[in-house]
């Protein structure tokens, strides 16, 4: 017997008589508030020649039931392998993200898409014919996997720039799911400029679940970061659109910050709090912008940028998404980890639901039955890689091409967490965001570590647990 490698703890209270400890096991997700004595018993488990009283043995039994005490380190490791295998092979849910277009009506500062130059003239848009083939392929996946639920997410570029495809896929796949007895949900990640009640009303009977809209800071900062061509601001129009649809479906607010914009977020939160739709927001969560780390590049090598036939960089998916998925820790700078914690606390202070900073993964890149479809029908392992043509893992028409098969093999062996030794956060982190690792470390299979962010999230979680006194108190 020994303590699990996935145990984490936060001491609570520092006055005599209040020396309790928050214990969490990241593998079983058990959370307990225990006395200092119980934490000491846990520390003694596994020590040579340790002796326990009958009461302490009972405590060890309870800890073992919750996964805090395991047979051996080997048992923990085997359970972890089994866990990632079951995440990978899980057939309970089929997830498909469709990029209706790579075109965008914004010219975001940090993004190579949008109305920069004549980008949109060349950016791909899904045709109705490709949409029909995508639906056929999705139906084949539904039949092959037999899931209980199907999650269809629309993304881009800006997905609302291709409404015919968006409506077609929603309607057809809703009917396909009805025929098969599968529960369907629609999600959308949009810049919000074209969001309207009409769109929401049309999608609502087809399983519309959630819409995520991005606001990059307070009005001035957002207008600087996410303008239209010509520099016109977009903040007021987006907020007005959110006002029209809040309450009709779950609306989340996301945002991308960097060192220059982070200080404007408290003002954004104050602004949102004052809105009549504040209590209808399902989630408010912000993340750092992913930036290539020049310093991480090997010396003596000239970094390659894929260039299209027109001499333009090949666009990836909208950078609004990269690193958000389930995880949102996608920058390897401690400064930004601290700022993420700061913004999470500011968000909680104003009463908005947000991510807890601990339950972040594994994200969909680790799931075999989660796919992203580009506008031309190319398949990708996750939305963050979509549009980067050489990372395509297949095609909806089943064509067999060596380069796609090679890419698929690269994604099949993504196990960055194997380099994480005994880190207690592996079950909820899985080695971090592979897109961020690819962009910043030039190797998608390296850990992109934000342990300090998890540790800070854990402290917040412990304080909330203590305040709610929800977890069982033993000892």
Residues forming contacts to ligand SF4 in the complex (CB under 6 A) are 322-325, 327, 363-365, 382, 384, 417, 420, 423, 425-426, 429, 431-435, 447, 449, 451, 454
Kindly report whether the peptide bond that precedes residue 415 is cis, defined as omega within 30 degrees of 0.
Answer: no
Token readout for 400 is: 């067999």
E strand map for 297-377? 370-373
Angle, CA 239 vertex, CA 235 and CA 241 arms, to 5°: 120
> Smaller CB distance to ligand SF4: residue 34 or 322?
322
Q: Shortest Cβ distance from residue 378 to ligand SF4 (Å)?
A: 16
Phi-psi region of 231 (alpha: psi -120 to 50; beta: other; left: phi over 0): left
Bridge partners (DSSP) listed for residue 25: 7
> Smaller CB distance to ligand SF4: residue 239 or 420?
420
Distance, CA of 287 to CA of 465 (rounded, Å):
24
Token readout for 95 is: 């997830």
Residue in this structure with the two tokens 């500011």, named with its chain if needed = 346
> Smaller CB distance to ligand SF4: residue 326 or 466?
326
Q: Shortest Cβ distance from residue 321 to ligand SF4 (Å)?
A: 6
Length of the chain: 475
Dihedral angle, C-alpha 233, 236, 238, 240, nearest 10 °? -160
Q: Shortest Cβ distance from residue 460 to ligand SF4 (Å)?
A: 16
> Smaller CB distance to ligand SF4: residue 66 or 321?
321
Q: Shortest Cβ distance from residue 393 to ligand SF4 (Å)?
A: 13
> Smaller CB distance to ligand SF4: residue 278 or 296?
296
The runs of H, that is alpha helices, within 353-469 are 402-412, 426-429, 434-436, 451-468
Token readout for 294 is: 């020049």
> Smaller CB distance to ligand SF4: residue 98 or 177?
98
> Smaller CB distance to ligand SF4: residue 68 or 454?
454
CB atoms within 10 A of CB 134: 25
Q: Shortest Cβ distance from residue 98 to ligand SF4 (Å)?
A: 15
> Smaller CB distance to ligand SF4: residue 430 or 465?
430
Distance, CA of 294 to CA of 134 (rounded, Å):
38
Q: Distance from first CA to last CA of the chain, Å, rounded?
A: 20
Distance, CA of 203 to CA of 186 (rounded, Å):
8
Q: Shortest Cβ distance from residue 331 to ligand SF4 (Å)?
A: 11
Q: Shortest Cβ distance from residue 191 to ligand SF4 (Å)?
A: 18
Using CB atoms within 10 Å of the CB of residue 80, give its burial: 0 to 12 exposed, 13 to 18 middle, 19+ buried. middle
Q: Shortest Cβ distance from residue 46 to ligand SF4 (Å)?
A: 22
Phi then psi for residue 80, to 5 deg, are: -65, -45
> Smaller CB distance to ligand SF4: residue 377 or 432?
432
Q: Shortest Cβ distance from residue 285 to ligand SF4 (Å)?
A: 13
């Amino acid at each position: 017997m020994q303590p699990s490698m996935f145990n984490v703890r936060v001491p609570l209270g520092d006055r005599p008589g209040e020396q309790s400890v928050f214990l969490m096991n990241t593998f079983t997700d058990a959370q307990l508030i225990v006395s200092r004595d119980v934490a000491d018993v846990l520390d003694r488990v596994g020590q040579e020649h340790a002796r326990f009283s009958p009461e302490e043995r009972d405590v060890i039994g309870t800890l073992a039931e919750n996964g805090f005490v395991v047979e051996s380190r080997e048992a923990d490791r085997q359970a972890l392998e089994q866990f990632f295998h079951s995440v990978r092979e899980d057939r309970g849910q089929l997830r498909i993200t469709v990029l209706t277009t790579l075109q965008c009506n914004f010219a975001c500062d940090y993004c190579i898409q949008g109305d920069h130059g004549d980008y949109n003239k060349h950016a791909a848009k899904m045709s109705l014919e490709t949409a029909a083939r995508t639906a056929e392929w999705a139906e084949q996946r539904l039949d092959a996997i037999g899931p209980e639920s199907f999650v269809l997410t629309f993304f881009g570029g800006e997905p609302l720039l291709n409404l015919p495809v968006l409506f077609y896929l929603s309607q057809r796949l809703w009917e396909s799911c009805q025929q098969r007895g599968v529960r369907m949900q629609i999600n959308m990640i949009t810049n919000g400029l074209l969001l309207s009640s009409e769109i929401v009303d049309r999608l609502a009977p087809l399983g519309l679940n959630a819409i995520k809209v991005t606001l990059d800071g307070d009005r001035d900062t957002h207008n600087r970061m996410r303008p239209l061509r010509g520099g016109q601001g977009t903040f007021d129009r987006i907020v007005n659109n959110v006002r029209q649809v809040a309450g009709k479906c779950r609306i989340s607010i996301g945002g991308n910050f960097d060192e220059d914009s982070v200080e404007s977020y408290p003002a954004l939160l104050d602004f949102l709090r004052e809105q009549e739709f504040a209590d209808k927001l399902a989630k408010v969560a912000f993340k750092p912008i992913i930036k290539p780390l020049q310093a991480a590049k090997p010396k003596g090598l000239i970094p390659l940028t894929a260039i299209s036939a027109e001499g333009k960089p090949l666009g990836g998916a909208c950078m609004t998404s990269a690193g958000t998925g389930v995880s949102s820790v996608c920058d390897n700078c401690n400064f930004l980890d601290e700022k993420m914690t700061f913004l999470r606390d500011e968000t909680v202070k104003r009463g908005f639901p947000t991510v807890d900073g601990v339950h972040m993964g594994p994200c969909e890149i680790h799931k075999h039955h989660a796919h992203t479809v580009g506008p031309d029908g190319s398949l990708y392992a996750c939305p963050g890689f979509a549009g980067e043509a050489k990372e395509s893992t297949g095609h909806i028409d089943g064509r067999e091409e060596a380069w796609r098969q090679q890419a698929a093999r690269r994604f099949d062996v993504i196990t960055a967490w194997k380099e994480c030794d005994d880190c207690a956060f592996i079950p909820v982190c899985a080695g971090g965001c592979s897109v961020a690792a690819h962009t910043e470390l030039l190797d998608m299979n390296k850990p992109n570590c934000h342990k300090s962010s998890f540790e800070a999230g854990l402290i917040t979680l412990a304080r909330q647990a203590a305040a709610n006194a929800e977890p069982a108190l033993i000892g």
